[in-house]
Amino acid sequence: MKRNFIYAVGMAVLLSTTACHAQKTGDNMVPKYEINNLPKVDLKGFKKNAQGAYVIFDGSSLNGWRGYNKDKVPAKWAIEDGALKFSKNPAGIANADGGDLIFAHDFKNFELEFEWKISQAGNSGVFVLAKEVKDQPIYISSPEYQLLDNENHPDAKMGVDGNRKSGSLYDMIPAKPQNGNPAGQWNKAKIVVNNGKVTHYQNDVKVVEYELWTAAWTELLQASKFSQAKWPLAFELLNNVGGKSKSGVIGFQDHGDDVWLKNITVKVL
């Protein structure tokens, strides 16, 4: 197992934070929050494949990766047999730290491709355009592509019309057709973000499509667990995904269950 995360001297130190003060939104007061400006990596140091996509995980190195709101890779994330694995209980590591994992580069328009498999009754997720919000989870600012054992995890029966099954826009749009493979089998995934239009593919089939920063997007949020009434801060951040730059990091979720990922590439559009 090998973990590498290389930055210039001093870059592991928090560079700055941007304070965002509480503001009134409708009848709800959005709590004060801060966006952390942590070290990022330059894509020039990563190879491209034959399709012109950057290989951000090649099975041998974790260069460019670190924990969400952290300066290192948490011990529960490691390389196993060429795959990036989150382990609930990693062998030989006592009191291993966990948390979500991000690739430390802000992407705007891109195609993310990867393969994944989940443990029995496992749950995880993938995040795009995420901001590192101090003392908040990654999903407070980022749409989530769900990774799930549809047959055995209770989330598959929750939500509306299967919108918490694999490939779905979590708690908002169900993946249709639902073509996820069972626990322990590899799936292929692709997420395309292009000028606000987001498309989910699962096992080479388009299963979800939506458009950010539109009235329809706001309606989706209002019908979800991230509504203005239920979670004002999440509604504020998700309604303005990517902030002023309309960009953010890619992340993989620590949901407490074993998950494997491989062949992770990003093509910048």
Report pLDDT digits (tens) over 224-258: 999 999 999 999 999 999 999 999 999 999 999 99
Question: Lowest-confidence range among 17-21, 128-132, 137-141, 240-244?
Answer: 17-21
User: Residue 114 forms beta bridges with which residues?
Assistant: 189
pLDDT at 4 (0 to 100)? 43
Tell whether 196 is covered by a domain.
yes
* Residue 58 within any structural domain of the chain: yes
Q: Determine, yes or no, domain membership for 124.
A: yes
Q: Is the pLDDT of residue 94 over 90?
A: no
Distance CA 220, CA 173 (A): 8
* pLDDT more than 70, % of the chain: 90
Domain CATH number, residue 87:
2.60.120.560
Query: What tokens were used for 100?
Result: 């979500």
Res 121 pLDDT > 60: yes
Query: pLDDT tens, 35-48?
Result: 999 999 999 999 99
pLDDT tens for each residue of 153-181: 999 999 999 999 999 999 999 999 999 99
Q: How many domains does the chain have?
A: 1
pLDDT tens, position by position, 177-207: 999 999 999 999 999 999 999 999 999 999 9
**pTM above 0.85?**
yes
Q: Is residue 11 part of a domain?
A: no
Domain membership of residue 10 (yes or no) is no
Name the residue among 37, 44, 46, 43 with its Cα closest to residue 16: 37
* Measured distance CA(179)–CA(9) in Å, rounded: 46
DSSP secondary structure, 91-115, as one string = TT-TT-----EEEEEEESSEEEEEE
Say which amino acid occupies 265: T
Range of the domain at 96: 16-268
The answer on pLDDT for 2 being more than 90 is no
30 or 202, greater pLDDT: 202
Using CB atoms within 10 Å of the CB of residue 126, give its burial: 0 to 12 exposed, 13 to 18 middle, 19+ buried.
buried
Per-residue DSSP letter, 173: B
Q: What string of H, E and C letters represents the secondary structure of 123-169?
A: EEEEEEEECCECCCCHHHCCCEEEEECCCCCHHHHCCCCCCCCCCCE
Torsion angles phi and psi, residue 243, rounded to 5 = 65, -160
Does residue 153 lie in a domain region? Answer: yes
Q: Is 78 contained in some domain? A: yes
Q: Contact at 8 Å (CB) between 239 and 221?
A: yes
Residue 7 has a pLDDT of 40
Say if 87 falls within a structural domain: yes
Question: For 64-89, what is the mean pLDDT?
Answer: 97
